[in-house]
Amino acid sequence: MTLYQPFLDHAISYMKSHLDLAPYPIPEGFESKSAVVGKGKHQETVITTSYAFQTPKLRQIRAAHVQGGKALQVLNFVIFPQLNYELPFFGADLVTLPGGHLIALDMQPLFRDDLAYQAKYTEPILPMFHAHQEHLTWGGDFPEEAQPFFSPAFLWTRPQETSVVETRVFAAFQDYLQAYLNFVEQAEAVSNSKTLQSIEDAQLRYLRYRAEKDPARGMFKRFYGEEWTEEYIHGFLFDLERKISSVS
Ligand code: DBV
């Protein structure tokens, strides 16, 4: 069992019991991809597996699970709400590289500086955030241009010990997902056309940033080549732009 498999298993089974999940199409060739990397006794098979679902309120729930031995494990899990809900994104980037673990967990706001929005989607989870942050110290600098996309409840940490990932980070992941599904349950559809436009704008801003700056791009290119990587990023991981242009 690899490091993030229990996270993925938990997320899928928890969502299955709390949401009306339907499959979300994964483009052909992207459900699973593997490559053999490294030389001699450092050879490893790196396999990337994709999962995707949707619900009436959630446009795309998707995970990318990269498994390449003890020193290369990634679970990137994002939930993109439908465009007629003001819900934040659920964003988890759980990364293990030869240099160590890097954990990003947040409910990423559509409108970070809007106080009413913060009162609704950040303040209720601050106690949970502080409880976890006590054990998971701040991970230090991260790209300044990414800051608008994170909430004040952004859990960002670089644990030294794998056991911390297995216990504290796993507990935080479960709590954040549970809190997120509570928000989803309570969310009501928006019909005001100005609000709808501002949601679409905010989703596109987020999505373009993530697609353009995807920190996994270099890794995927090395393993699977440029063409596969760009198609994976724009056609699956961050696909909103294409979905919008295909209906309008
Ligand atoms: N990150 C992704 C996807 C990944 C992925 C789709 C499927 O968005 C993995 C894989 N993240 C990944 C890897 C690294 C990071 C780093 C492999 C390490 C890159 C490296 O060191 O070579 C949060 N992820 C990071 C970093 C941050 C995040 C801040 C470190 C800084 C950096 O290298 O850029 N999550 C990430 C992020 C946003 C987010 C930038 C922005 C909104 O939600």
Q: What is the pLDDT of residue 248?
A: 58
**Average pLDDT over every residue of 171-175:** 98
Q: What is the pLDDT of residue 162?
A: 98
- Between the CA of 191 and the centroid of ligand 1 the distance, in Å, is 34
Nearest atom in ligand 1 to the alpha carbon of residue 214 is 8
The residue assigned the tokens 């297995």 is 166
**Average pLDDT over every residue of 84-95:** 98
> Does the pLDDT value for residue 245 go beyond 90?
no
Nearest atom in ligand 1 to the alpha carbon of residue 156 is 29
Q: What is the pLDDT of residue 246?
A: 79
SS3 76: strand
Strand partners, 73: 67, 96
pLDDT tens column, 189-211: 999 999 999 999 999 999 999 99
Confidence of residue 43 (pLDDT cuts 50, 70, 90): very high
Confidence of residue 42 (pLDDT cuts 50, 70, 90): confident
- Between the CA of 195 and the centroid of ligand 1 the distance, in Å, is 30
**Average pLDDT over every residue of 92-108:** 97
Give, as one character, the DSSP assignment of residue 84.
Answer: T
Residue located nearest, by CA, to atom 31 of ligand 1: 142
Structure tokens at 123: 């303040």
In CATH, what number is assigned to the domain containing residue 109? 3.40.1500.20
Nearest atom in ligand 1 to the alpha carbon of residue 237 is 6
- H or E element at residue 172: helix 170-186
Strand partners, 192: none
Prediction pTM value: 0.97
Dihedral angle, C-alpha 93, 132, 174, 85, nearest 10 °? -70
Residue located nearest, by CA, to atom 20 of ligand 1: 215
Residue pair 179/105 in contact by the 8 Å Cβ criterion: no
Range of the domain at 171: 5-247
SS3 156: strand
SS3 67: strand
> Does the pLDDT value for residue 247 go beyond 90?
no
Residue located nearest, by CA, to atom 14 of ligand 1: 215
Residue located nearest, by CA, to atom 32 of ligand 1: 215
Query: How many domains are contained in the chain?
Result: 1
**Average pLDDT over every residue of 218-239:** 98
